[in-house]
Structure 1
Amino acid sequence: MTITHAMVLAAGLGTRMRPITDQIPKPLVRVAGKPMIDYALDLLAEAGVRRAVVNVHHFADQMVDHLKNYSRLDIVVSDERAALMNSGGGLAKGLKLLDRSPVLVMNADLFWIENETAAKTNLQRLGDAFDAARMDMLMLCADPARATGHNGKNDFNLAPDGRLTRFKAGDPHPVIYAGALVMQPGLLDDAPADAFNLNIYFDRAIAAGRLYGIGLDGHWLTVGTPDAIGEAEEVIARLASDV
């Protein structure tokens, strides 16, 4: 299934990226000459997405100006200047600007380098694998051995049938949430109107046996601190030279 709508979570304060984020929002921090959010937007465009909501708060005017000049997607801004809504509240608010079809959700500061030999992109694979009859959410999950910038903490255990549970010491298949998932917007119809963390819905889905994952094909990157920028750039350059 080709998913044509997306939400990009981009409103955070980026406190660990200070002092850079004292002047600009974290999604506009450049890695290998490219703003981090553009990696996410490009991945969405390459997967067939046509319309994306992006929420803004920190240095919102800079974000809006940048998004106006991004031409590969029809971008709609979800304005959180008045109040930062956290991951769940921001998503629930932004989804109201889209229709009821399945939606890709991405974090603006997490991205990956695709496997150039793969027949489909990771987000296309995510869309193809989503089954709303069995799943509340389907997450893209990274192998810790093919990740750069990660703090070493595993998020979930990925079972052979694709179901996800919270990682516990000794679990056989640890994975990292790669910052991308697909879901039906109606899942958040009962969401509170104020700020809340999306982990509430992750845990509900786990309890119902409806949180699933697929493995990322490629190399995953997170750039959380100024020191991590150089590390990510080295990986990007190395992978580019290997193509």
Structure 2
Amino acid sequence: MPINPRPIKNAMVLAAGLGTRLRPITDTMPKPLVPIADKPMIDYVLDLLDGAGVETVAVNVHHFADSMEAHLAKRSRPRIVISDERAALMNSGGGLAKGLKLLPEGPVLVMNADLFWVGEKPGSPSNLERLASFFDPQTMDMALLCVRNENTTGHSGKLDFSLDAQGRLSRYKDGMENPVVYAGAIAMHSRLFADAPEDAFNLNIYFDRAIANNRLFGIVLEGHWLTVGTPEAIGEAENTIRRFEAGA
């Protein structure tokens, strides 16, 4: 797949959640700053975006917002703009809608601050570059990065979508072919949220709307996907990272 000659330059990182399943660690710090192999989770995400050519990232903050802002201020790339949710959490959809207003209208990548991957092949297009190139706003509302369950660490095993031969996604039901897990990365055009509610709502509303219109598509992640939902999962993630760093 060719790399888009004009890569997506803007992104939104959803980072405002409370991280309740990671307590007691998140009683003293926000989940995106929890270190995995001596590196805060959100820095894995921001490094992936930077490597894909993203220049400006909106990041929403709520839980330990001051700590988040102080950490993000240390980065020079990508440029960070803060979407402040101190007053009220906006959920995934509301947070995205609010953050998009801080970015120029156009194509945008969206990532979760606590979901990332390792094991991309050097010299090949990255997963985010592939996703940006795959996204076609004429035929798609959103393009999702997905992963096969066997290429995950820390995941519950829940299957989210079925991916057909054309790359179209539908909600997974038992027995469906080509099941995949949503990997927490989206390519979309910001105008999709022009009519978004002003209050909190879940991003799944837009996933289901796109499915109903046959406009939700996806590609499969190359490498290995990590999710850290509990304190016990930290060690599993670190072992996986070390294994890939050693060339496994």
Is 1:97 matched up with 2:119? Answer: no
Look up the match of 1:46.
51
Is 1:11 matched up with 2:16? Answer: yes
Task: Report the secondary structure of 2:92's partner residue.
Answer: helix
Cα deviation, 1:113-155, whole Å, max 9, x if unaligned, reads 0322451100000011110010000000011011100001001
In structure 2, C-alpha distance between the alignment counterparts of 1:241 and 1:28, rounded to whole Å: 25
1:120 is aligned with what amino acid?
P
Look up the match of 2:188.
183
Following TM superposition, the consecutive aligned residue runs of length 4 or more in structure 1 with deviations greater than 3 angstroms are none
Look up the match of 2:176.
171
2:37 is aligned with what amino acid?
A
Is 1:120 matched up with 2:136? Answer: no
Is 1:35 matched up with 2:40? Answer: yes
Cα deviation, 1:54-101, whole Å, max 9, x if unaligned, reads 000000000000000012211000000000000000000000000111
Unaligned runs of 5+ in 2: none
Task: Report the secondary structure of 2:246's partner residue.
Answer: helix
Q: Mapping of 1:21-100 within 5 angstroms?
A: 21-100=26-105
The total of aligned residue pairs comes to 243
C-alpha contact 1:9 1:108 (8 A) present in aligned 2: yes
Task: Report the secondary structure of 1:242's partner residue.
Answer: coil
Identity of aligned residues (%): 64
Task: Report the secondary structure of 1:181's partner residue.
Answer: strand
1:154 is aligned with what amino acid?
L
CA-based RMSD of the aligned residues comes to 0.8
CA shift, 1:230, in A, is 0.1
C-alpha contact 2:15 2:59 (8 A) present in aligned 1: yes
Unaligned runs of 5+ in 1: none
In structure 2, C-alpha distance between the alignment counterparts of 1:48 and 1:117, rounded to whole Å: 16
C-alpha contact 1:114 1:122 (8 A) present in aligned 2: no
Look up the match of 1:229.
234
